[in-house]
Amino acid sequence: MQRLAMDLRILSRELSLYLEHQVRIGFFGSGVGLSLILGFSFAYACYYMSSIAKKPQLVTGGESFSRFLQDHCPVVTETYYPTVWCWESRGQTLLRPFITSKPPVKYRNELIKTADGGQISLDWFDDDNSKCYMDASTRPTILLLPGLTGTSKESYILHMIHLSEELGYRCVVFNNRGVAGENLLTPRTYCCANTEDLETVIQHVHSLYPSAPFLAAGVSMGGHRHMFVKQIDMDHVMKAKSIREFDKRFTSVMFGYRTIDDYYTDASPNRRLKSVGIPVLCLNSVDDVFSPSHAIPIETAKQNPNVALVLTSYGGHIGFLEGIWPRQSTYMDRVFKQFVQAMVEHGHELSGM
């Protein structure tokens, strides 16, 4: 609330300075223009505060996890103030990549082999200058999972690494097969329902630093054409006009699903949430154009004490822009930083959950 009030005061001051130079000429000379602008601004501010700025809905399957989040990750219970001029879902979704900054990050790349002869590209941020965790063997490690077609170069990934660096943590980005510039050695990419590559990466990273706290953060879902022509009609695939058509013609065929509905059923989190055995925090906006409110498994989440959902009224898909000019940080960034820090420093409180 204090930050929003400060932003509104700054906006009002800038508007007043502008009007001070305009009020003596043209439309503003009568004072009518000034009255209309001030009246509209007041009405918009009232609408924004009453209908847009809201506290997120916190859904948990147990009191212990809920209390843990309120104590150590308070951002999930604070009012979320979407950017005042860009709170609508499509605007948040489309503008985030262009507005948010891209902090510089120097990676160390590693290619690891898979059981089927393929390879996975990992981009490491070792954080060797960490002052909080100087011993690399016990330095907390955060595995970052980009969204669909995303890589280690995405702005939201770079922000997570920057925030992890502030905490002294090490990060490793899991680039899905074929999206980060590495050669695709087998006719296989990735899909939401298959976790074999992720399991390979987790085992590899954990084997390197078995004594270090290990966490993962995924965003959204969290091509070399010649490899597929023998089993898939790529010309037909490239004519797809929607994500569903692409999944029907390509993803479901590659992974052997009988129908597109079989693939979507297998990929849905609904059937997996019940078996989650470690603390998991999920952030989703109910106006997300790709993950709408009716698809969020609220009732299923309530049945597992290890799962918590943070549902904001606005934010779009990976948007969560806030402030007048949301370049340096988003609401998602703040949730990420507080939660990983809470798990590293206070995770033992949940051991008996």
pLDDT of 44: 85
pLDDT of 45: 86
Catalytic residue among 127, 288, 313, 333: 288
What sign has the CA pseudo-torsion 195, 198, 204, 205?
A: negative
**When comparing pLDDT for 148 and 347, which is higher?**
347
> How would residue 276 be classed by pLDDT, with cut points 50, 70 and 90?
confident
> Worst-scoring range by mean pLDDT, 38-47, 118-127, 180-189, 246-255?
180-189
pLDDT of 12: 55
Active site residue 50: no
User: What class has domain 101-228?
Assistant: alpha beta
Active site residue 288: yes
143 bridge partner residues = 172, 216
Catalytic residue among 123, 197, 317, 333: 317
Average of per-residue pLDDT values in the chain = 83
Model confidence at 46: pLDDT above 70: yes
**When comparing pLDDT for 130 and 196, which is higher?**
130
Residues 6+ apart with CB under 8 A from 57: 309, 310, 311, 312
pLDDT of 200: 92
**When comparing pLDDT for 231 and 292, which is higher?**
292
CA distance 345 to 19: 51
Q: 318, 156 in Cβ contact below 8 A?
A: yes
* Helix (H) or strand (E) segment spanning residue 191: none
- For the chain, residues classed under CATH 3.40.50.1820 are 101-228
From the centroid of its chain, how far is CA 223? 23
pLDDT, average across residues 78-88: 93
Active site residue 317: yes
pLDDT, average across residues 198-202: 91
CA distance 231 to 234: 9
* Residue with tokens 């939401």, as numbered in its chain: 192
> How would residue 246 be classed by pLDDT, with cut points 50, 70 and 90?
confident
pLDDT, average across residues 311-334: 92
pLDDT of 186: 63
> Worst-scoring range by mean pLDDT, 30-44, 90-104, 333-347?
30-44
> How would residue 38 be classed by pLDDT, with cut points 50, 70 and 90?
confident
Residue percentage of the chain with pLDDT more than 70: 77
65 bridge partner residues = none
pLDDT of 334: 96
Q: Which amino acid is at 223?
A: G
**When comparing pLDDT for 192 and 272, which is higher?**
272
Instruction: Give the up-direction half-sphere exposure of residue 48: CA atoms within 13 A in the CB hemisphere.
Output: 21
pLDDT of 194: 66
pLDDT of 104: 94
Catalytic residue among 41, 64, 220, 268: 220
CA distance 322 to 279: 27
> Worst-scoring range by mean pLDDT, 1-5, 116-120, 169-173, 312-316?
1-5
- CA torsion 143-147-150-156 (nearest 10°) is -70
Among 18, 28, 185, which Cα is nearest to 115's?
185
pLDDT of 23: 47
pLDDT of 25: 47
Model confidence at 122: pLDDT above 90: yes
pLDDT, average across residues 207-212: 96
> How would residue 230 be classed by pLDDT, with cut points 50, 70 and 90?
very low
CA distance 174 to 190: 12
pLDDT of 138: 96
Q: What separation, in Å, do the N-terminal and C-terminal C-alpha atoms of the chain show?
A: 33
